[in-house]
Amino acid sequence: MNKPFRPEYPRPNFVREPWLNLNGTWDFAFDDGDVGGDERWYEPALPHNPFDLSIEVPFVYQSRLSGLEERAFHNVMWYRRMFDLPAGWQAPDQRVLLNFGAVDYRSAVWLNGHFAGSHEGGHTPFQLDITPYLADENHLVLRVEDVLTDLTQPRGKQYWKTASEGIFYTPSSGIWQTVWLECAPALHLTQVRLTPDVAAQTVSLYCRASKAVAATAVVEVSFAGAVVAEGEVALVDGVGTAVLSLPAPLLWSPEAPNCYDVTLRLAAPDQPEDCVQTYFGMRSIAIENGRVTLNGKPYVMKLVLDQGYFPDGLLTAPSDEALRRDVELAKTMGFNGVRKHQKVEDPRYLYWADQLGLLVWGEMANGYRFSATAVHRLAAEWQTVIERDYNHPCIVAWVPVNESWGVPGLRDDPAQTQFLLAMYHLTKALDATRLVVSNDGWEHANTDLCTIHDYTADAATIAARYAVLDEAMAYRPAERPIFVAGHAFAHQPILITECGGIAYRMLGEEEGWGYKNAGSAAELEACYRQLVHVLLKAPLLQGFCYTQFTDVEQEINGLLTYDRQPKLPLATIRAINEGMELSEPAV
């Protein structure tokens, strides 16, 4: 068995034992002629071996850690590996489930020559029951199609040209999150939703099972190892709900990230027990009297734009420690949250944000062309994103669309405005507990927050603009109105959710760009201080998001370099974000 990369358990808010990590070295082939299907590359025995390469999963072929670092475009690729099951996994009452954390973009899976299933969507997990196809020695094959020039695919910052430029970066094709097997009883839990109610001091549970039968899920809630609540969820036709009381609960916030652990045991007559572990935070996010509140108290969001790219793994972090370190760095710099930009982040990042205390805005990776196909693709994948991440207390806002990407004709095409409205209401229907931003940056339709992207370099201009409401609403970022035709400001909280972008090239870094240039660390500090000062003092603003956390490829406007080296002392950035004045300048 290969020693796996990224060996940690990949789904921290729905943990089931036993499991088997399938990361590591896989056979690999490009299929530029798209002949693999006709030639049956999924068969265990082939007259010739088309798998002429190897790849380190879960890293995409474009990345250094994959072992290939191939930057040419390949629309079709194939993966293959062998595996043996652990002892006891093929009992008559057990199912073997194959999980993929994320594969960009369209996948088809075969086991021992049998078609096991398919999936579309490059940022969301999928699971296949492979029990009927198992053998003593198992031959797993995956075909992936990622048409890099298809602008109706939700792709985020992955560029559709051969070389990165501007705000777009190297694409990520194929497997980019962990692949693993788990063993579960035939009757097992498939979904658990936990909805805290801070005011009522309760947590609601929704459970769904793999079969539409009567069953009971026994629930135990604990904090720091001590049981604080117990109950049962009665499932009828495989679905059930319950409400547990949590008197005087410890609340979750960035300042006090208290998490409750949950164990669920699903049982039915003559069925083996299924056990799943998860967690939740007692946390509310709302708008009360025109203010953003966290746990019922006004809360100023100090966010940093985080695109989640890594120099050696691209969208895939090289290690779990790297994900934890990113959360720690953001907090050390005095930010209380991040806006995850155009990336559906690895669940392990969200786990560390939950455990260490960092707000997250969850944002969908957008496409760039509007069509019926594009609408279907984004809406379908977005629903899975919300389901996957619903239980994470760190997530306080959902952003289905950014800067009118995928809806470029909002000024002239009513259908595109209807799409914004549909995504807003769809998100609200699936999750009524969080804030929803219909179109971050400009051209809002219905929205819980009025979010504006403002890269104006002059801090004095920003100060004047966000002191008077009429001035703020008259601003046209990128020559776009703040609200799309037919919609207007309705006294939502106002936040600047992209600003700054000050470029500073550290010694040894490549040339690059930003929205404003600083020639020295002292100049970077002065510009950052002036900007944050006015953002914190502006009467109309309830928060900001600075661009950005790290440099990414040709963008050098991060507070950290691409390899996470600070451009200013972290204590200096923190003091500025906390509104303090330093007696000593940065060096």
pLDDT tens-digit profile of 362-420? 999 999 999 999 999 999 999 999 999 999 999 999 999 999 999 999 999 999 999 99
Q: Please state, in angstroms and rounded to a whole number, the distance separating the CA atoms of residues 580 and 577.
A: 8
Q: What is the mean pLDDT of residues 320-341?
A: 98
pLDDT at 551 over 50: yes
Q: What is the mean pLDDT of residues 91-105?
A: 95
pLDDT at 2 over 70: no
What are the Cα distances from residue 119, in Å, to 57, 101, 365, 400, 497?
A: 18, 12, 17, 21, 33
483-498 pLDDT per residue, tens: 999 999 999 999 999 9
pLDDT at 587 over 70: no
Q: Please state, in angstroms and rounded to a whole number, the distance separating the CA atoms of residues 20 and 164.
A: 36
Is the preceding omega at residue 424 within 30 degrees of 0, hence cis? no
What is the model's pLDDT at position 583?
Answer: 44
Phi and psi for 397 in degrees, rounded to 5?
-150, 145
pLDDT at 335 over 60: yes
Q: What is the mean pLDDT of residues 236-250?
A: 97
Q: Please state, in angstroms and rounded to a whole number, the distance separating the CA atoms of residues 409 and 393.
A: 35
Residue-wise DSSP of 194-224:
EEEETTTTEEEEEEEESSSS-EEEEEEEEET
What is the model's pLDDT at position 584?
Answer: 45
What is the model's pLDDT at position 131?
Answer: 97
What is the model's pLDDT at position 378?
Answer: 98
Average pLDDT, the chain: 96
What is the model's pLDDT at position 90?
Answer: 85
pLDDT at 480 over 70: yes
Q: What is the mean pLDDT of residues 428-446?
A: 98
pLDDT at 201 over 80: yes
What is the model's pLDDT at position 3?
Answer: 60
What is the model's pLDDT at position 581?
Answer: 61
Contact 287, 448 (CB under 8 A): yes
Q: Which residue has the tokens 């629903």?
A: 383
Which band of pLDDT confidence, cut at 50, 70 and 90, is reported for residue 447? very high
Q: Which of 20-34, 264-278, 504-518, 571-585 has the lowest mean pLDDT?
A: 571-585
pLDDT at 98 over 90: yes
Which band of pLDDT confidence, cut at 50, 70 and 90, is reported for residue 580? confident
Which band of pLDDT confidence, cut at 50, 70 and 90, is reported for residue 445? very high
Provide the percentage of residues in the chain whose pLDDT is more than 70. 98
Q: What is the mean pLDDT of residues 120-124?
A: 98
Contact 84, 138 (CB under 8 A): yes
Q: Which domains, and CATH codes, for the chain? A: 19-184 (2.60.120.260), 189-280 (2.60.40.10), 307-577 (3.20.20.80)
Which band of pLDDT confidence, cut at 50, 70 and 90, is reported for residue 586? very low
Token pair belonging to 173? 């094709």
What is the model's pLDDT at position 197?
Answer: 98
Which band of pLDDT confidence, cut at 50, 70 and 90, is reported for residue 585? very low
What is the model's pLDDT at position 193?
Answer: 98
What is the model's pLDDT at position 270?
Answer: 87
What is the model's pLDDT at position 1?
Answer: 43
**Quick one: which of 145, 179, 169, 181 has its CA closest to 59?**
179
Q: Please report the beta strands in 121-237, taking only residues with DSSP state E, as ranges in sequence order.
A: 126-129, 138-145, 174-175, 179-185, 189-197, 202-209, 215-223, 226-235
Q: How many residues does the chain have?
A: 587
518-529 pLDDT per residue, tens: 999 999 999 999
Q: What is the mean pLDDT of residues 264-274?
A: 93
Q: Which of 300-304, 575-579, 583-587 has the lowest mean pLDDT?
A: 583-587
pLDDT at 291 over 50: yes
